[in-house]
Structure 1
């Protein structure tokens, strides 16, 4: 009897051990299968994405893909050079401080600074941005439209970036320049024509004190490679109480060979349909006469480099100008700028 009990006990003992080992082996096998499935699944997804990218690059004739690539290069170059187009279109938040000097062979050296900012109003809606723009006098804007008051008083107000409507981007602004209120609207739309990205923009501005104005810009951009771009731009502007129309034609080449380094070369033609230029500034009543046509030919080379990541950069900009007021004699110029950026740009 006792031997039967002992035999039964030993049988149950070995059976339970075998069952435990079988369960353990089964759990290990299931875990191994699950892990293998996850590993293989990740590889399949990775291979699939790789094949998709390869085929997409081989079939890069898609207008949509090309447009995206062209616009990416365009936007990155505009952001690096901080072009007027980029500043007018960006929704990023930033504070920009610029100090510089302007040397000319025909006139005395000038020193200037500029402070501009765009800050989000996060407690309202993200589409609203507070902006501050300290207007800086620019030699290349010396057509009939400039006045001394306008170049020394900052704009302060709110930008509203509206949602796209039929692929038209729009920005509305309301603010003050000194004690004068103003409203401004800007519209733009991007087109693709072969390898060209074309973007016309239209801006209207009305002020209670300063002159109302409207201007049109059309940009024709073409990517040359991943590091360079060619741009042709057309500009026209009219202002209340000023005769004629300002216009400009510019051809620019942009190259960013290394990170945080870039160079641009531009040829600019300024003109006005009824431009009044000074013929004798020594008399008490300055003498001037009207002129229709190109009043200034400017060639400029701009070297730009970030010296501390993206937020401290310097610019060296030699240029030559042939202005009608100088009897189209050469005026050698050199601009030096030091930029400080805070925020998202």
Structure 2
């Protein structure tokens, strides 16, 4: 009994120490809270401004427009290429005056490409052309898997896009997510995408993931394909590790491999609930570099500005 009491006392003491450390961290770095509040307030003000365009004078809507933003900064140096920098900004604005069936999405990257790829390994031409997108997204209901977009993207080309997403629980541990889309850009022409993701929950803290993506590009009349295999491990609420293998290629002039990559990504929540950093060492092999190994490390900082 005394041993149990000692263990309980030790656990209580450890919990108090962790709470004290968290309180101390909250008291420090007050400039982070100020920055977060200013950016979140600015995004919400923009949301209210956009929503006013669709307001009806005789209709009293008690729900206010809401905006959220994700900002990601990264440096991904590797041998033979030290100046690989990554900046990603995505702002979503909910418009309740359109019954939450439409929202405004602004980003400086094309969300057709996977979020988990490394910029140093991507198709540079595609990355350069897909830097900015501003669109109105519409759905028949807030939880509908079918959505449509109308806006500007890829160096201010007008575009329209329709996308459908769905998921299926194949077993207690296996889940399948898939999506397909078609779009038309004023200069680049037609394009299409089909992708699926298979997750296997090996344990409460570990997931095996298989990703497959196919992109048809009318401008070049070919398919860009990507496959990846990942293992995601969550150690606690603040630390996670992702080990992955990624391959990418094209269908013309024949179906061939352009590059492949292996990486180990550590993601940590730090200082505040909305702030994360990542450290990802990787090895990359590219066809235009005669598949000679290139060693690098990705360093990223990501902030979420909205309700936590």
User: What is the TM-score with the length of structure 2 in the denominator?
Assistant: 0.70
Partner of 1:115: 89
Query: Could you tell me how far 1:141 is from its partner in structure 2?
Result: 2.6
Give the whole-Å Cα distance in 1 for the aligned partners of 2:266 and 2:67. Answer: 25
Q: Is residue 122 of structure 2 the alignment partner of residue 146 of structure 1?
A: no
Which ranges in structure 2 are unaligned for 5 or more consecutive residues?
Answer: 1-65, 111-117
Q: Which residue of 1 aligns with 2:14?
A: none
Provide structure 1 residue ranges, at least 5 long, that are not aligned to the other structure.
1-91, 275-289
2:184 pairs with 1:184: no
Aligned residues: 234
User: Is the contact between residue 94 and residue 342 of structure 1 (CA under 8 Å) also seen in structure 2?
Assistant: yes
Q: What SS does the aligned partner of 1:190 have?
A: strand
Structure-2 residue corresponding to 1:169: 145
**In the alignment, which residue of structure 1 is the partner of 2:222?**
244
1:106 corresponds in structure 2 to: 80
* Cα distance between partner residues in 2 of 1:217 and 1:140: 19
Matched ranges for 1:1-345 at <5 A: 93-135=67-109, 138-142=119-123, 146=126, 148=128, 150-152=129-131, 154-163=132-141, 169-177=145-153, 178-194=155-171, 195-274=173-252, 290=253, 292-344=255-307
Cα deviation for residue 297 of structure 1 reads 1.4
Larger fraction in helix: 1
Evaluate the alpha carbon distance shift between residue 140 and residue 162 of structure 1 in structure 2; reply closer, same or farther with a 3 A threshold. Answer: farther
Instruction: Label 1:180 to 1:295 Cα distance change in 2 as closer, same or farther (>3 A).
Output: closer
Q: Could you tell me how far 1:307 is from its partner in structure 2?
A: 0.7
CA deviation profile, 1:146-190 (whole Å, cap 9, x unmatched): 263x143x111212233499xx71121111125422111111222
Q: What SS is found at the alignment partner of 1:237?
A: strand
Rate the CA distance shift 1:140–1:187 in 2: closer, same or farther, 3 A. farther
Deviation at 1:124, TM superposition (A): 2.4
For 1:268 and 1:326, the matched residues in 2 are separated by 17
- SS of equivalent to 1:258: coil
Q: Which TM-score applies when normalising by structure 1? A: 0.63
CA RMSD of aligned residues (A): 2.3
Distance of aligned partners of 1:317 and 1:161 in 2 relative to their CA distance in 1, 3 Å threshold: farther
Q: Return 110-119 or 125-134, whichever deviates more.
A: 110-119
